[in-house]
Chains A and B, each alone.
Chain A
């Protein structure tokens, strides 16, 4: 089932699977976490078999996500090093958001925005995991001041992270032809040439 043999391979099957494990666990974590975040979201506990099950399941989902994220982090870390072209891209991001990419500098596999997203998510993920473990009373009983700090960090980083992921998902929806990269791993050459010309040249040799 190859759509166009000349499409460019952007992600391997295992990279895609890895990303989906993280993505699905994140959605479940976000929904179950929000249930405890504010009473307005408490009814979300019904999605997980009731409030007690939500409380039980959330941290284990967190462990799955944390493990899958560590693998993903080391897979993509080297592709997310900041370059001067990324900085230039970021300084012009308002034009990009405005829908005009004519003045944007040429980008490699990832643009400056994606790289910032990568590192922001990595930091949030680290904070979420550490603070999540600290407040996991089923297994740990740490000094109360540390638990209090953990609760603040978990709630704050959680809100930030949900916001970041909304932007991440929206960017994929906004830029047409992107989501297929996570479904079956390929993108069209035109897509690559328009959005990631450096990468396009690197993989096509043009």
Chain B
């Protein structure tokens, strides 16, 4: 979202490498779903820190409010009631951008520099370069980016890149009263998660585990889930997310090849003209027509 001073690893619609010299520590946010009480302090903190105020909506008879992510709500809590092992469980997942190591949004974006991946793993939208095409929405496996109705720019969680750049944890992390949101290096977060998973297993959640999907190269927002075997329970968290094959096909090697083929057609035409010469009306037929005309004129004159 903001201009700041993190090293850039990858930028959208750019075919040359970005800064690669310095190695930065990869960071991650860990959301321990089992410790979340659904208070929405993080939602509020996000709105506060980023200074965005979504429209006050309506109550839909459920806890979810707002009902979905929007250009002004970059994180929302999703509440699901499920029955597991004959017990009612209330699953609460903080939804938002996962900051994929292999981001489908960035791959799809046609505008140079509208989407940036920093060396620390944060995927950030730079709205000043965004053209509003919505390709990022098409590319994202988690259905995260939203196009604003007001300015037709794409918005999503920035993982508080402006705070992280000055060594501060994201606003949501600061606000969580139960410590369900942790922030640090990805390595540390994995270690922390392992402890939480061990604890959950001890408490009878045999399938507890870390959600760090490898289909997108791992993510820089990870979940500790009590039912890691069924991420789908948590308001449709995809079990094996990856960039859709259609998106890979669309953005893959076919395009440079097609570009070469078109250049080939253009050059081929030029050289065809130069080597074969133009296809002109033959002198023979022109003379034939002239003779016919002369004959006709003569007949008229009679």
With A52-B132, A137-B133, A155-B255 as contacts: A190 and B289 at CB distance below 8 Å: yes
Mark the stretch among B22-30, B82-90, B256-264 that contacts chain A.
B256-264
Centre residue among A52, A97, A135, A175 by max chain B CB count within 10 A? A52
A48 → chain B closest CB, angstroms: 11
Q: What residues on A are CB-neighbors of B282 within 8 Å?
A: 194
B285 within 8 A of A: yes
Find B152's partner among A138, A162, A173, A189 (CB 8 Å cutoff): A138
Cβ-closest chain A residue relative to B282: A194
With A137-B137, A144-B137, A155-B250 as contacts: A38 and B244 at CB distance below 8 Å: no
When chains A and B are docked, how far (Å) is the Cα of A38 from the Cα of B147? 22
Find A137's partner among B134, B261, B269, B293 (CB 8 Å cutoff): B134
B192 within 8 A of A: no
Cβ-closest chain B residue relative to A35: B110
Q: What residues on B are CB-neighbors of A191 within 8 Å?
A: 281
Cβ-closest chain B residue relative to A40: B259
Q: By the criterion CB–CB under 8 Å, are B278 and A55 in contact?
A: no
With A42-B112, A51-B131 as contacts: A170 and B269 at CB distance below 8 Å: yes
Q: What residues on A are CB-neighbors of B57 within 8 Å?
A: none
Taken residue by residue from 144 to 188, chain A's Cβ proximity to chain B (1 for < 8 Å, 0 otherwise) reads as: 110111011001100100110011001001111100000000001
Q: By the criterion CB–CB under 8 Å, are B279 and A99 in contact?
A: yes
Q: By the criterion CB–CB under 8 Å, are A166 and B265 in contact?
A: yes
B44 → chain A closest CB, angstroms: 28
Q: By the criterion CB–CB under 8 Å, are B262 and A166 in contact?
A: yes
Q: By the criterion CB–CB under 8 Å, are A39 and B285 in contact?
A: no
Q: What residues on A are CB-neighbors of B285 within 8 Å?
A: 190, 193-194
Cβ-closest chain B residue relative to A96: B279
Q: By the criterion CB–CB under 8 Å, are B110 and A159 in contact?
A: no
B14 within 8 A of A: yes
B15 within 8 A of A: yes
With A39-B112, A52-B132, A137-B147 as contacts: A152 and B279 at CB distance below 8 Å: no
Q: Is the interface of B mostly helix, strand, loop or mixed?
A: helix
Q: What residues on B are CB-neighbors of A166 within 8 Å?
A: 262, 265-266, 269
Contact residues, A44-69 vs B (CB, 8 A): 51-52, 54-56
When chains A and B are docked, how far (Å) is the Cα of A156 from the Cα of B259? 11
Q: What residues on A are CB-neighbors of B289 within 8 Å?
A: 188-190, 193
A29 → chain B closest CB, angstroms: 15
B13 within 8 A of A: yes
Q: By the criterion CB–CB under 8 Å, are A176 and B279 in contact?
A: yes
With A151-B250, A174-B279 as contacts: A52 and B255 at CB distance below 8 Å: no
Find A152's partner among B14, B112, B249, B261 (CB 8 Å cutoff): B249
Q: By the criterion CB–CB under 8 Å, are A52 and B134 in contact?
A: no
Q: What residues on A are CB-neighbors of B293 within 8 Å?
A: 6
Contact residues, B237-274 vs A (CB, 8 A): 244, 246-247, 249-250, 254-256, 258-259, 261-262, 265-266, 269, 272-273
Q: What residues on A are CB-neighbors of B137 within 8 Å?
A: 137, 144, 147
Q: What residues on B are CB-neighbors of A163 within 8 Å?
A: 261-262, 265
Q: Which B residues fall within an 8 A CB radius of A?
A: 13-15, 108, 110-112, 129, 131-135, 137-138, 143, 147, 152, 244, 246-247, 249-250, 254-256, 258-259, 261-262, 265-266, 269, 272-273, 276-282, 285-286, 288-289, 293
Query: Could you list 25 A-B pairs, sorted by A, with CB under 8 Å?
Result: A38-B255, A42-B13, A42-B110, A42-B111, A54-B131, A97-B276, A99-B276, A137-B133, A138-B132, A138-B152, A145-B246, A148-B244, A152-B249, A156-B258, A159-B262, A170-B269, A170-B273, A173-B273, A174-B278, A176-B279, A176-B281, A177-B281, A188-B289, A189-B289, A191-B281
Q: Which A residues fall within an 8 A CB radius of B?
A: 6, 35-40, 42, 51-52, 54-56, 97-99, 101, 135, 137-138, 144-145, 147-149, 151-152, 155-156, 159, 162-163, 166-167, 170, 173-177, 188-191, 193-194
